[in-house]
Amino acid sequence: MTVKKGWGSTVAGWFIEREEDAGQTPDADMSAADTEAIINAASGASPNEAYASPSSTQNVFQTAPPPATGGQVDFEAVFDAAGVDTEERARVARTVELLKSLPAGTDAGVKKQIVEASLKAFGVPIEKIIEAGVEEIQALDGYIRNGASDNEKLMAESDARIKQYEEEIRNIRGIMQQSVSELQNVIKVCNDKKLEVQQVLEFFGQAKVAEVVRESPKLHDPSAAPDTTAS
């Protein structure tokens, strides 16, 4: 998709660029897939990468905004943290509702006339609405970028921890393998020594060996059941 120079380059690059035919207005009910495609086209990168670079909008907050919970955002709290006036926000919200109430397919020029006439009738300065709208966009852009920065730190820390755990797992596996190898060697050398001593016992004969085993208090008859009584 070819992206034309538009809203995205109007102020500091934090408007979302939208490609649309001349005279057409943006679709208010844009799908999530369309929105993602627009962001990707405007930034030339993935959504996360699009907000990875620092911006002055990250410094608009007067107090720390609340973190998003489950990916959901408390917009009013974000605007409060950015110091956007409550009354001005209400005016922006009313203007948004007014735009939504206009019939679909209404010419963009006609929409502009209707909205401006309505605002003037209520004595609402258009410049104030524009200013508040830009403030809200600044706050949202800063909120996204701060979130992206926090996410980048989390990814880096998590990646470092994963590498640490992977190294620990490799070390543990090495210890396990070493223990198995050592046990195999112990079994071999002990059995070799048993065979060496066994030659002496075989020299005296199996019957004599069995007799000595039965009569000696030091020896254990391998054919007898093991004594499990605790000493």
What are the residue ranges in the chain where pLDDT is below 70?
1-56, 224-231
Total residues belonging to the chain: 231
Structure confidence at residue 25 (pLDDT) = 44
Structure confidence at residue 158 (pLDDT) = 94
DSSP state, 24?
A: P
Query: Would you list the domain boundaries of the chain?
Result: 1-50
Helix, strand, coil % in the chain, rounded to nearest 5: 65, 0, 35
Residue 130: enclosing H or E segment and its boundaries? helix 126-204
Residue labelled with tokens 């004595």: 123
For 96-111, what is each residue's pLDDT tens digit?
888 888 888 888 888 8
Structure confidence at residue 184 (pLDDT) = 97
Structure confidence at residue 23 (pLDDT) = 43
Structure confidence at residue 76 (pLDDT) = 94
Range list of β-strands (E), 40-154? none
Structure confidence at residue 124 (pLDDT) = 77
Token reading at 104: 């679909």
Structure confidence at residue 14 (pLDDT) = 55
Structure confidence at residue 48 (pLDDT) = 61
C-alpha 215: how far from chain center: 73
Maximum CA extent, the chain: 123
3-state secondary structure of 111: helix
Structure confidence at residue 45 (pLDDT) = 45
